[in-house]
């Protein structure tokens, strides 16, 4: 911090707030100062100082920052700081020893209850008792994997649309030889990453563990709960806090079993996200129309436009298929967890049914973090068809047993489809009919290979072994 020139720091903060919003400005300012940027020089530059040496030094710093491309690493470093700042908003109490012990004991009980409700064994791996900031640390790498390809594509299109010709003459003189396209691209990527960080930090104040979104946010097997959020959710409910903790711990442990012991599921979910990102096609003419009224030197306009989603890519048919595939998978994950949790807690928690309904309403309502991801990335984190999926899993368990229900996770070919969610009540009938048809085809092939079916050779003689070969 430059104690000799607090006004210079204020100029910096004003500029960063225009780009990143008030919550991200302070963290970004500290990071920039740590990298050697001199706020006094930048503040003087903003006021067009008379000292040419100061101007030259400050512009050299600007050129260095804007010309550096480290693959988005520095963008996400800023995003990380903003996410932690957002997670701290409203307080982020440290995890106490008593809370840590309670979480571990509750998760141990959860696994015991789940053993009677599913064939999938415990996940294993570490138990993480997280503060909100720790949740950010553990999950932000996954959010980067999900969001970064989309942010890069949008920023590149933005740079193509806003060229140097759209710059006021005064700004061209101030920037000198700086490539306006590169500057807009860098600012677009930075702003996108920062807003994803803001969304992740906001989500850290709402989630219970690592799997609330339906995506496996931890890098490997393990369980994570956020005690502060569990207690906050329990406040005002009719159920005792201990029941709430047990219910949410069972849900977390059920998710973890699924993601650990269904090895194809993680790649299935993130493969759909990658397919969506890979298929991005941005209508440059439409984007040009959208940004026509934006001054590219006004960072507040740029940030607001990105936040409003006006640069969001238009979905292609391939992307629509990818998102439908993702939505179906997320719904089936949530529906299975709902059913398994309900079965696991039924003998133990008197308030299990109302807690299930409470979580359904919470999922339907969503929150600001989910709105951020939907606007920026195009991902819907609230599986709207979870009730249909829960009905399907309940039907299979009732008619064929828990083992048959869980066996549907054994291979992607057995996994229910979007069409199955359209009509869950007749899922077993359709599967039985398809199996019978496959069985008839297999039987016919066996007979043909064994020579027990009549066939016609090239001369038209049927079933004449002497004419074979």
Burial classification of residue 65, based on how many CB atoms lie within 10 Å of its CB (0-12 exposed, 13-18 middle, 19 or more buried): middle
pLDDT digits (tens, 9 = 90+) for 96-154: 999 999 999 999 999 999 999 999 999 999 999 999 999 999 999 998 888 887 777 77
Q: Reduced to 3 states, what is the DSSP secondary structure of residue 314?
A: strand
Tens-place pLDDT, residues 287-304: 666 656 665 555 566 556
Residue 237 pLDDT more than 80? yes
Residue 137 burial by Cβ neighbours in a 10 Å radius (0-12, 13-18, 19+): middle
pLDDT class for 230, splitting at 50, 70, 90? very high
pLDDT at 5: 45
6 or 76, higher pLDDT: 76
Using DSSP's 3-state secondary structure scheme, residue 248 falls into helix
Closest residue by Cα to residue 377 from 161, 85, 149: 149
Residues 411 and 47: their CA atoms lie apart, in Å, by: 64
Please give the Cα distance from 154 to 305 (Å, whole number).
12
pLDDT at residue 450 in the model: 65
Say whether pLDDT at 25 is over 70: no
35-67 pLDDT tens trace: 444 545 444 433 434 444 554 554 555 555 555
* Predicted confidence (pLDDT) per residue in 322-358, tens digit: 888 888 999 999 999 999 999 999 999 999 999 999 9
138-157 pLDDT tens trace: 999 998 888 887 777 777 76
DSSP 3-state of 10: helix
pLDDT at 467: 42
Q: Which residue has the higher pLDDT, 195 or 228?
A: 228
Q: Is 213 within 8 Å of 377 (Cβ atoms)?
A: no
**pLDDT single digits (tens) 159-199:** 766 654 445 555 555 555 556 667 777 777 887 788 888 88
Q: Provide the pLDDT for residue 214.
A: 85
CB burial of 181-213 (b: ≥16 within 10 Å; e: otherwise) equals bebbbbbbbbbbbbbbbbbbbbbbbbbbbbbbb
pLDDT tens-digit map of 422-458: 999 999 999 888 777 666 555 556 666 666 555 444 4
pLDDT value of residue 326:
86
Question: Residue 111: its pLDDT value, please?
Answer: 97
* Residues in a beta bridge with 223: 127
**Tell me, what's the pLDDT at 333?**
95
What is the secondary structure of 82-136 as a DSSP string? HHHHHHHTT--PPPPHHHHHHHHHHHHHHHHHHHTT-SSPP--S-EEE--HHHHH
Q: How far apart are the first and last CA of the chain?
A: 90
pLDDT score of 141 = 92
Binned at pLDDT 50, 70 and 90, residue 2 comes out as very low
Which of 439, 469, 463, 434 is closest to 451 using CA atoms?
463
Structure confidence by residue, pLDDT tens digits, 349-371:
999 999 999 999 888 887 766 77
Q: Which residue has the tokens 């048809």?
A: 437
Buried b (16+ CB within 10 A) or exposed e, 364-403: eeeeebbebbbbbbbbebbbebbbbbbbbbbbbbeeeebe
pLDDT tens sequence across 194-214: 888 888 999 999 999 999 888
Q: What's the pLDDT tens digit per position in 368-414?
A: 667 766 766 666 766 778 999 999 999 999 999 999 999 999 999 99
Q: How many CA atoms are closer than 13 Å to the CA of 247, on its beta-carbon side?
A: 25
């Amino acid at each position: 911090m430059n104690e000799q020139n607090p006004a210079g720091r204020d100029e910096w903060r004003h500029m960063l707030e225009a780009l990143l919003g008030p919550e991200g400005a302070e963290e970004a300012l500290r990071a920039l100062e740590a990298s050697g940027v001199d706020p006094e020089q930048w503040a003087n530059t903003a006021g067009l100082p008379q000292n040419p040496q100061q101007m030259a030094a400050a512009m050299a710093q600007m050129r260095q920052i804007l010309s550096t491309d480290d693959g988005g690493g520095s963008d996400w470093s800023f995003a990380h700081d903003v996410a932690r700042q957002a997670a701290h908003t409203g307080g982020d109490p440290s995890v106490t020893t008593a809370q840590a012990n309670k979480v571990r004991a509750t998760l141990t009980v959860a696994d015991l209850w789940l053993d009677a409700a599913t064939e999938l064994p415990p996940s294993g791996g570490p138990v993480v008792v997280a503060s909100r900031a720790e949740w950010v640390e553990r999950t932000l790498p996954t959010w980067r994997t999900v969001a970064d390809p989309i942010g890069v594509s949008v920023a590149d299109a933005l740079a193509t649309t806003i060229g140097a010709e759209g710059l006021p003459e005064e700004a061209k003189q101030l920037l000198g030889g700086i490539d306006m396209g590169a500057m807009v691209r860098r600012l677009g990527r930075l702003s996108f990453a920062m807003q994803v960080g803001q969304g992740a930090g906001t989500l850290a104040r709402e989630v219970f563990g690592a799997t609330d979104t339906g995506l496996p946010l931890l890098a490997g097997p393990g369980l994570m709960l956020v005690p502060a959020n569990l207690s906050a959710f329990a406040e005002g409910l009719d159920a005792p806090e201990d029941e709430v903790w047990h219910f949410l711990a069972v849900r977390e442990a059920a998710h973890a079993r699924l993601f650990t012991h269904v090895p194809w599921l993680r790649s299935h979910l993130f493969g759909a996200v990658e397919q969506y990102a890979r298929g991005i096609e941005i209508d440059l003419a439409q984007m040009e129309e959208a940004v026509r009224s934006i001054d590219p030197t006004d960072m507040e306009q740029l940030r607001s436009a990105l936040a409003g989603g006006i640069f969001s890519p238009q979905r292609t048919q391939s992307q629509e298929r990818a998102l439908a595939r993702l939505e179906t998978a997320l719904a089936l994950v949530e529906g299975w967890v709902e059913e398994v949790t309900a079965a696991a807690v039924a003998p133990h928690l008197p308030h299990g049914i109302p807690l299930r309904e409470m979580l359904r309403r919470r999922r339907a309502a969503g929150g600001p973090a989910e709105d951020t991801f939907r606007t920026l990335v195009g991902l819907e984190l609230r599986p709207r068809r979870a009730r249909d999926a829960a009905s399907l899993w309940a039907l299979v368990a009732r008619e064929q047993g828990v083992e048959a229900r869980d066996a549907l996770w054994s291979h992607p070919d057995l996994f229910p489809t979007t069409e199955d969610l359209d009509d869950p009540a007749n899922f077993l009938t359709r599967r039985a009919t398809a199996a019978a048809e496959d069985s008839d085809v297999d039987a016919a092939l066996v007979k043909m290979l064994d020579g027990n079916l009549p066939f016609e050779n090239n001369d038209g003689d049927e079933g004449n072994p002497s004419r074979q070969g």
